[in-house]
Structure 1
Amino acid sequence: MDFRLMAVTITLMCASLAGCFGDDDSGSGGYDGPIDLVVFYDSTSGMIEGTVNNGQNGPLNGVELSFDFADTTSDDGDITKITLDPDDGSDPVEGNPSEDAVLSYTWLTHGVFEITLSAEDEDGNSHSIEVSVRIDMHIVWTETNTDSSTMSINTTPDCEDGEPNPYTVTVDTTVQDTGTLFSAGSEVQWIFNDPEGEEIASDTGAMANGQSQSFDHVAKDIVAG
């Protein structure tokens, strides 16, 4: 019987630096209300790390980002509520800045998210800005028997509008003949298809007992699916 071990590394990259957002650079549309919304941040991007072993999903290490509203003020009184809407379908995160002016959220899905940061003062005034957050994904996928094994990669982003698609998908694979007794080696074929079933790339290789073969591919202009 032909047993092989395959390890696939998949990286989905969407098309950050530390700093701050404020009304001058947020595209706030000429807001002239009493709230001066200033938010500091360490990063607006990150990469989720995940594993799949023989078709079973392992734990995901999400991306936690934090936003500091400590310098947000209002001419009409104290800021009483701050809000972060993550744009991934989850409920907004709210806080009282008098207790903690930092809001944090952990993304577990990839995409470019147009998050909304908001502040409300004691007089009921509110003001919001939108910020783009980029979350990429890196998956290590391992299979112990690759005979006609199919791996499906869902590239559709999980933002509420489902856009944009990843800028690139990088696939690095290594297949190893496990060197079982009396094995004469084996052959391997890779076929990389798009969601419509059209072939994008392919390759073949031969392995002697205990040897391995690799196939790498970078796909751009990704089709949703």
Structure 2
Amino acid sequence: MHKATIRASGLILLMLIGMLAGCLGSDEDASEEDSLVDLVVYYDSTNATIIEIHNNGQQTSRDGAEFSFNFRETRSDGGDIVTFSFSPGDGTDAVSIDAAENSVLTYSYQTHGIFEATLMAKDDDNNTASQDLTLRVDLFHRDSQTGTQNPSDATIDLAPDDDSLELPAQLKLKSTVENPDSFAWVENTVQVTWTLKNGSGVEMATESEQVGDEQSATWENQQNTPETAVWTLEINIDAGGDSEEVNVTSELWTVYDEDESEPNPEPPSPE
């Protein structure tokens, strides 16, 4: 009876070992299948900037933050590569290109933030490989006005994309007011007052300076952990009753922590 019990226990142990070996073998097979696609992607940058340009109160251009990914060295031991894909992580659908026609995939972000993106390749036997990538997208706004007595406000929306992993760490601004030559017999000096307000209309910073003929003044400011809303830069020109016209250039931009992935530029060709 005792020997029979030992034999039964040994048989059960052998069965368990066999089952475990089978499980391990399946994992290795799956790993081999996953590795059939050798994903190699080159990209020169992992941060880019959306650029908004306003002239005399009108938006004249808005360029998205563009990234390019070169898949040309990607290969598969399981078949021919058929598609290259990029999932931007900004709530929009993945973008795919036909690998037989093109190996460079380009995507332009229209909202700022820190994004967890995914690169992927697939062959004609549905073998795939993917790579996660963290990208940083900032927003830059420039507002230029010429020959104005009453500059319009410059605004920037600090609210990031809903899928952004982070909020802006800083808001920075640089504003220059130029008092050009009025060709008058007397010098016309203007008093410039800058006022920066957050999305709630609360004054966060202000500065005043006198600017004489053919002179300019620049104000720079930085706000840490700013409210994620539309901020406004107001500029008041006091010419003491005269109709003095000035030129204004204001720049406002977001600053995110540099948490993006490292670039992977294509290595130089051997000489």
Distance 2:73 2:218 in 1: 52
Q: Does 1:150 align with 2:153?
A: yes
Per the TM alignment, residue 90 of structure 1 is displaced from its structure 2 partner at its CA by: 4.3
Structure 2 alignment gaps of length 5 or more: 1-29, 230-271
Tell me which residue corresponds to 2:135.
Answer: 133
With over 3 angstroms needed to count, the CA separation of the structure-2 counterparts of 1:163 and 1:58, relative to structure 1, is: farther
Q: 2:84 aligns with which of 82, 85, 91?
A: 82
Tell me which residue corresponds to 1:100.
Answer: 102
Q: Does 1:224 align with 2:200?
A: no
Tell me which residue corresponds to 1:64.
Answer: 66
Per the TM alignment, residue 138 of structure 1 is displaced from its structure 2 partner at its CA by: 2.9
Distance 2:116 2:157 in 1: 21
Contact (CA 8 Å) 1:156, 1:162: kept in 2 or not?
no
Distance 1:165 1:65 in 2: 21
Q: Which has the higher contact order (CA 8 A, sep 6+)?
A: 1
Give the SS at the match of 1:157: coil
Quote the sequence identity (%): 32
**1:81-133 CA distance string (max 9 Å, x none):** 11112234444321122332221223344322222212222222333322112
Give runs of aligned pairs for residues 191-210 of structure 1, distance below 5 A: 191-210=195-214
Amino acid at match of 1:147: N
Tell me which residue corresponds to 1:3.
Answer: none
Structure-2-length-normalised TM-score? 0.62
Q: 1:124 aligns with which of 123, 126, 149?
A: 126
Give runs of aligned pairs for residues 25-64 of structure 1, distance below 5 A: 32=31, 33=34, 34-64=36-66
Give the SS at the match of 2:157: coil
Per the TM alignment, residue 49 of structure 1 is displaced from its structure 2 partner at its CA by: 3.4
Contact (CA 8 Å) 1:50, 1:139: kept in 2 or not?
yes
Higher alpha-carbon Rg: 2
Contact (CA 8 Å) 2:84, 2:96: kept in 1 or not?
yes
Whichever structure has more helix as a proportion of its residues is 2
Q: Does 1:215 align with 2:219?
A: yes
**1:156-187 CA distance string (max 9 Å, x none):** 223x4144222332211111234545674221
Tell me which residue corresponds to 1:113.
Answer: 115
With over 3 angstroms needed to count, the CA separation of the structure-2 counterparts of 1:55 and 1:124, relative to structure 1, is: same
Distance 1:61 1:93 in 2: 19
Tell me which residue corresponds to 1:17.
Answer: none
Distance 1:102 1:137 in 2: 25
Give the SS at the match of 1:130: strand
Contact (CA 8 Å) 2:41, 2:72: kept in 1 or not?
yes
Contact (CA 8 Å) 1:187, 1:206: kept in 2 or not?
yes
Contact (CA 8 Å) 2:193, 2:208: kept in 1 or not?
yes
Q: 1:189 aligns with which of 186, 193, 210?
A: 193
Per the TM alignment, residue 204 of structure 1 is displaced from its structure 2 partner at its CA by: 0.9
